[in-house]
Amino acid sequence: MNITIKDIAREAGVSYSTVSKALNDSPLVKPDTKIKIVKLAKEMGYEPNFAAQRLVSKQSKTIGLIWPSIERVALSTLITNINEKITENSYSMILSINSIKASLEMFRRFQVDGVIVFEENNTLTKSELHHLTSIPTVSYGVPGNDVFPVIDVNWQQALYDAVYYLYNLGHRKITYIGDFSPTDPRQMEKYDGFKLAFKELNLPMNDHSVINTGGLDWYDGYVATTRLLQSSTRPSAIIGSSYDISSGIIRALREAKILIPKEVSVLGYDNIPQMGTLETPLTSVGVPVEKIASTIVQSLMKLIVDKESIPSVQTLTPELTERISCAQTIGK
C-alpha cells in the first residue's frame, strides 16, 4: 500500500486538504506549514496517485504520438526532437505503434491531452474520426485531410531554392538524384520544384538532369552516382533528395577521387544535424527538424488550450544551410 496525503496529514497533524494544497504550492497555505508538509512528504516517500489526480482534474499532462511504422527510420530524428520539446513543456510523451484506430482508443483511455499523428499514407475512416472530435490532434504529413490541423513542409520550394542557389554559384549542369516513385507525393513535389526552377532559369533538361534511383537507401544514391560518373558529361553540381541518398553520392564521388566541392558541388535535401557530420559536411536545404518539431508541439499546445486557435494547414518554409560541399564554379 502506497502512502497517501492522508498519511501525511495524520503525521503532520493537519487536515488532508491542507496537505493537498501545500503539495500543489497553493498560496492559501502558510509558508511555514507548506515547507513542513513538503519536507515530510518527501521523507515519507510520498508519490501522488496519478489516477486519482486525473479522475478529478481531467488532465494527464501527457501527449500521445502515433507512429504506425517504426520500421521507417527516417522519422526517428524528428520524433526524438518532438519528445524533447514536449518535455520542455513539462508534458510527457508516450508512443504507440499500433494502428491509428487502436492507438486512439488507448490514448483516450489514458486521457492524453493531445495527440500527434504521423500519417504515412493512412486514410482515416469515419469511426476513427468519431474519436478525434474530442481530443486535440495535429498531424505531420500530407495535407488534404480535413479532420485535424496538419503541419506540412514546402518540399517544392526546397528544391526550387536549391537550384537557384547553385545557379547563383555559377552552376549550369545540375543533376538531381532522387526517388520519384509516384506513390509518394512529397517526392513528386520536390521534383516539381526542381523542374520549375529549371524552367525559370532556362536551363536545359536532359538525360542527365534527373536520375531516378528507384529507392531511398544510401546504396541507391551510390549506384546512381557511379553510373552518372561513367557517362561522358559530368555535372558540376549534384542534388541529393534525402540524407541517405546524399551520403551515397558523397561516397561514390570520393571513391572516384573527385573532390567536393572543388570539382563537383553537392547539395542535399533534409535539414538534420547529421548533415554536418557526414564525411563531407553537406550544404543542405529543408526545414530544420528542430523547427518542424517545435511547430508541431507548439501548435498542439495551442490547440489544447483553444480548439480553434490554429490554421488547418501550416506549411513550413525550408532553409538553406551552408556547409562546405558547394563552391563557386567558373565553367558554364
Partner DNA sequence: TTGAAAGCGGTACCAG
Partner DNA sequence: CTGGTACCGCTTTCAA
Stretch touching DNA by CB under 7 A, among 9-17, 120-128, 162-170, 185-193? 9-17
- Closest separation between CB of residue 138 and its own copies, Å? 19
Nearest approach in angstroms of CB 61 to its own copies is 9
CB of 33 to DNA, least distance (A): 4
Under DSSP, the state recorded for 25 is T
Based on CB atoms, which residue is closest to DNA, 26 or 181?
Answer: 26
Minimum gap (Å) between residue 22 Cβ and DNA: 7
30 belongs to the binding site for DNA (CB under 7 A): yes
Amino acid at site 75: L
Q: How many beta carbons lie within 10 A of that of residue 217, not counting itself?
A: 15
Residues near 28 by beta carbon (within 8 Å), at least 6 away in sequence:
21
Q: Which of 18, 137, 175, 213 touches DNA (CB under 7 A)?
A: 18
Q: Map residue 211 onto helix, strand or coil.
A: strand
Is 110 a binding residue for DNA by CB under 7 A? The answer is no
Q: Which does 168 bind (CB under 5 to 8 A by kind): its own copies, DNA, none?
A: none
Comparing CA positions, the residue from 232, 228, 209, 212 lying closest to residue 220 is 212
Q: Are 140 and 313 in contact (CB under 8 A)?
A: no
Closest contact distance (angstroms) between CB of 219 and its own copies is 6
Residue 98 as a binder of DNA (CB under 7 A): the answer is: no
For the CB of residue 93, give the shortest distance to DNA in the complex, in Å.
21
Residues 6+ apart with CB under 8 A from 100: 66, 68, 117, 122, 124, 128
Partner that binds at residue 29, options its own copies, DNA, none, CB closer than 5 to 8 Å by kind:
DNA
Q: Is 17 a residue that touches DNA (CB under 7 A)?
A: yes
**Residue 17 interacting entry, from DNA, its own copies, none, C-beta within 5 to 8 Å by type:** DNA
Cis peptide before 261 (omega within 30 of 0): yes
Give 135's DSSP letter: S
- Exactly one of 10, 35, 43, 47 binds DNA (CB under 7 A); which one? 47
Of these partners, DNA, its own copies, none, which one is at the site of residue 27 (CB under 5 to 8 Å by kind)? DNA
- Closest separation between CB of residue 45 and its own copies, Å? 9
35 binds DNA, rule: CB under 7 A:
no
How many residues belong to the site for DNA (CB under 7 A)?
32
Q: What is the DSSP string of 149-164?
A: -EEEE-HHHHHHHHHH
Q: Pick the binder of DNA from 35, 43, 52, 69 (CB under 7 A).
A: 52
5 binds, among DNA, its own copies, none (CB under 5 to 8 A by kind): DNA
Q: Which stretch binds DNA (CB under 7 A): 10-18, 151-159, 203-211, 324-332?
A: 10-18
Cβ–Cβ contacts within 10 Å for residue 119, how many? 18
Give the number of other Cβ atoms within 10 Å of residue 219's Cβ: 15
For its own copies, the binding residues (CB under 8 A) are: 47, 49-52, 54-55, 62, 70-71, 73, 76-77, 79-80, 83, 87, 92-98, 102, 106, 108-111, 217-219, 222, 251
Angstrom distance (rounded) from CA 200 to CA 101: 45
How far is the C-alpha of 212 from the C-alpha of 181, rounded, in Å? 8
Q: Where are the alpha helices (H) located in 27-151, listed in sequence order? A: 31-43, 50-57, 76-88, 100-109, 126-132
